[in-house]
Amino acid sequence: MLVASVLSLKGGVGKTTVTLGLVSAAIQAGVSTLLVDLDPQMNATTTVEIDDTGTTLADVLSNPRRTVVNDAIRISPWSDLLRVLPGSEAAEAHNNPDPTVKQLARLTTALSKVDPAPDLILIDCPPSLGQLTRSALVAADRAVLVTEPSLYAVTGVQRALEAVQKERLTHRHLQPLGVIVNRVRPRMTEHDYRLAELRDLFGPLVLNPVLPDRAAIQQAQGAAVPIHQWPTPGAKEIAAMFDALLDRLLRSARNRTRA
């Protein structure tokens, strides 16, 4: 089982879009997947057509017993391969700015009790560095950082990578997969400059392909369908890019197993 946390410490860069794109690619590849919505805004939960009534992530973090965990998990209409641990506004109560070791371990404990275990767990983190995001990093094998080519987003991804490296001091299994650059507009001077800056700062951690700004992404999300099922050329282009990024993520797990 591979656990990947998708994070950014700046809102509005398309973190949930990237998470859902990877989810869509995983479904297309036949990979059994659990989507964990840690963001109290619950955008991922809404898009995969899961409501937040009944047992949710907030209940799981309060009481990560096996029965509570598996009662909370639901199958998404997107695919039988996709299960969801739905988010809740009440999860904000678990976003302590100075959490204890025990609090940080609750998500890891909960994920170990998912039955049956999925092949892949994707965690959509909130755009802040409190208990929720830190617990996702503690639980994760890979950290996927998301940014866009703008000044403040570049600063945000620097802070996010520093947070990952700090968490690695006590959780050595965690590795940064890299930085996904989202909403790139070709031939836009500012974006070209910031993309070059990101590559200068992070080198090979900047993942290819970078994701262009396409209306198809918003259209698919508005219709609550996976990007792989949206019938436009732009959607096909983006879907192929998410396939490549998912392949990079899964290959990192195979490399870890061989090591």
Ramachandran sector of residue 49 (left: φ over 0; alpha: ψ -120 to 50; beta: rest): left
pLDDT of residue 52: 72
pTM: 0.96
Cα–Cα distance for residue pair 151/161, rounded to 1 Å: 16
Cα–Cα distance for residue pair 34/121, rounded to 1 Å: 5
CB of 36 within 8 A of CB of 81?
A: no
Q: Is the peptide bond before 209 cis (omega within 30 degrees of 0)?
A: yes
HSE (side-chain half, CA atoms, 13 Å) at 144: 31
Which tokens sit at 53? 């009534």
Which tokens sit at 177? 């997969």
pLDDT of residue 256: 58
pLDDT of residue 41: 95
How does pLDDT run along the chain (259 residues), one tens digit per residue?
999 999 999 888 999 999 999 999 999 999 999 999 999 999 999 999 988 789 999 999 999 999 999 999 999 999 999 999 999 999 999 999 999 999 999 999 999 999 999 999 999 999 999 999 999 999 999 999 999 998 888 888 899 999 999 999 999 999 999 999 999 998 889 999 999 999 999 999 999 999 999 999 999 999 999 999 999 999 999 999 999 999 999 999 876 544 4
Ramachandran sector of residue 244 (left: φ over 0; alpha: ψ -120 to 50; beta: rest): alpha
pLDDT of residue 149: 92
pLDDT of residue 258: 45
Total Cβ atoms within 10 A of residue 256: 13
HSE (side-chain half, CA atoms, 13 Å) at 249: 34
- Class of residue 257 by CB neighbours under 10 A (exposed 0-12, middle 13-18, buried 19+): exposed
Instruction: Please calculate the CA angle 76-77-79 and round it to the nearest 5 degrees.
Output: 80
CB of 72 within 8 A of CB of 60?
A: yes
CB of 209 within 8 A of CB of 244?
A: yes
pLDDT of residue 31: 98
Q: CA nearest 144: which of 154, 152, 155, 136?
A: 136
